[in-house]
A and B are shown apart, each in its own frame.
Chain A
Amino acid sequence: MELRDSDKEWQKDAPVLASISKDNPFTVPEGYFNTLSEQLKSRALIESKQIKDSDGFTVPEAYFTGLSQRIQGRIVLESTLSKNKEQGLQLPESYFETLSDRIQARIGKKKSHWLSYAAAACITMVIGSVIYFNSSQYTISRKLSDVSDQEIINYLQLHTTVSDNQFIIEHLNTEELQQVNNDISEQELELYINNTTL
């Protein structure tokens, strides 16, 4: 009675509202509630299969299966990293502070080495040149000794020039000049001078 009276009360206050149908205007896809039941049953089954401890906390499925391997892998990784830290990439104390001085010292050593090599090379060249030129003269003297005086005279008469005569004159020493004078008479000298022009 009370419910009906209260129902009537609000209908008196709201006639437009009261005239509107109370039928459910909302709809659902066909077969929805059957599907919903099955879905809920499946989910409940999944929930019940999850691992629970006494506190009601759960873990992901198959969590403990791989846990041991993950822990071992982590141990190997951590130990490898710590070894690398000990063995590699460490520097001696004050390395960079002394680096500059050490580099300079090495440059200095390299320079003295270079000089010593150069000096040795020069000396070698000098000695070698001396030997070479001396040997040349000796060879020339040996070869000239095989040639007769008349052949030398004939060669000089054919091939000497005025400049050669001047060279010979300038390079005669006193002893050689004296010898030439002894071999040539005054008349031959006078005749030579009158017939040649310098």
Chain B
Amino acid sequence: MQVEDSVILEKFSKESTRTEGFNLLLNKYQQKIYWHIRRLVIDHDDTDDLVQDVFIKVWNNLSGFRNESQLFTWLYRIATNESISFLNRKKLRNSVSLDDDLIGQELINTLADSPYFDGDKAQMKLQKALLSLPEKQRLVFNMKYFDDLKYDEISEILGTSVGALKASFHLAVKKIEQILVNSD
């Protein structure tokens, strides 16, 4: 049975139990955060770096968490921002503009060469189709389709209205379907 967020926050707020609270938080959220990042940046080593950065930020800033949002949406927001920043830096490092198409192609290449992809042909096609989408649209699709989050929760994470998110998701579905149909 998973620990309640309130218990984690309670233990973290006290100096004597802060480490215990942090351990509980890791147990509950570390894999969710990892996969959220991994689906965005594709490469395992990049994900590993980002996950560590995220949780160190959490360690340093959890004391200031004010319960204005849910703990896990706060965590997802940090993870999302770190991932987007990473992808933007990657685009600039490669001396390209902040063009989604070009970084998408690079990530497709990374996916094709990755030793840590175990999916079948169809799953590979799906991932490649996803990587052709604009970054934010890919984000919304991942959180809805793979993480099964509610639109309210996604709205809280991304700061986008529920209506816009629904529209974005349905557009993404149509594009992916078109790509999958045409790729056969």
Contact across chains for A26 and B39 when beta carbons are under 8 A apart = yes
**A33-B31 in contact given A25-B119, A26-B117, A47-B59 (Cβ < 8 Å):** yes
In the complex the two chains form, what is the Cα distance from A13 to B56 in whole Å? 42
In the complex the two chains form, what is the Cα distance from A36 to B31 in whole Å? 10
Kindly list chain B residues whose C-beta atoms are within 8 Å of the C-beta of A22: 145-146
Kindly list chain B residues whose C-beta atoms are within 8 Å of the C-beta of A36: 30, 34, 48, 51-52
Say whether B109 faces chain A, with CB atoms less than 8 Å apart: no
**A16-B177 in contact given A21-B123, A22-B146, A41-B23 (Cβ < 8 Å):** yes
Say whether A157 faces chain B, with CB atoms less than 8 Å apart: no
Residue of B nearest to A14 (CB): B177
Contact across chains for A25 and B60 when beta carbons are under 8 A apart = no
Instruction: Scan residues 139-182 of chain B and give those whose CB is less than 8 A from a CB of chain A.
Output: 145-146, 150, 169-170, 173-174, 176-177, 180-181
Minimum CB–CB distance for A111 against chain B, Å: 76
Q: In the complex, how many residues of chain B place their beta carbon closer than 8 angstroms to a beta carbon of chain A?
A: 42
**A17-B44 in contact given A10-B170, A25-B117, A47-B60 (Cβ < 8 Å):** no
Q: Which of B18, B27, B117, B122 contacts A21 (CB 8 A)?
A: B122
Q: Which of A20, A26, A40 contacts B30 (CB 8 A)?
A: A40
Q: Which of B44, B52, B173 contacts A43 (CB 8 A)?
A: B52
Say whether B124 faces chain A, with CB atoms less than 8 Å apart: yes
**A40-B26 in contact given A17-B173, A17-B177 (Cβ < 8 Å):** yes
Residue of A nearest to B39 (CB): A26
Residue of B nearest to A46 (CB): B56
Say whether A174 faces chain B, with CB atoms less than 8 Å apart: no
Mark interface residues in B6-41 (1 if CB within 8 Å of A CB, else 0). Answer: 000000000000110011001100110011001100
In the complex the two chains form, what is the Cα distance from A28 to B30 in whole Å? 13
Q: Which of A16, A23, A25, A43 contacts B56 (CB 8 A)?
A: A43
Residue of A nearest to B118 (CB): A27
A contact patch SS = helix
Contact across chains for A20 and B123 when beta carbons are under 8 A apart = yes
In the complex the two chains form, what is the Cα distance from A47 to B124 in whole Å? 40
In the complex the two chains form, what is the Cα distance from A32 to B4 in whole Å? 25
Minimum CB–CB distance for B149 against chain A, Å: 11
Kindly list chain A residues whose C-beta atoms are within 8 Å of the C-beta of B22: 41, 44
Kindly list chain B residues whose C-beta atoms are within 8 Å of the C-beta of A44: 19, 22, 55-56, 59
In the assembled complex, 15 residue pairs joining A and B whose CB atoms fall closer than 8 Å, in A order, are A10-B173, A15-B177, A17-B177, A20-B122, A20-B125, A20-B126, A25-B124, A26-B35, A26-B44, A27-B118, A28-B34, A32-B48, A36-B34, A40-B56, A44-B55
Which residues of chain A have a CB within 8 Å of any CB of chain B? 3, 10, 13-17, 19-29, 32-33, 36-37, 39-41, 43-45, 47-48
Which residues of chain B have a CB within 8 Å of any CB of chain A? 18-19, 22-23, 26-27, 30-31, 34-35, 38-39, 44, 48, 51-52, 55-56, 59-60, 116-120, 122-127, 145-146, 150, 169-170, 173-174, 176-177, 180-181
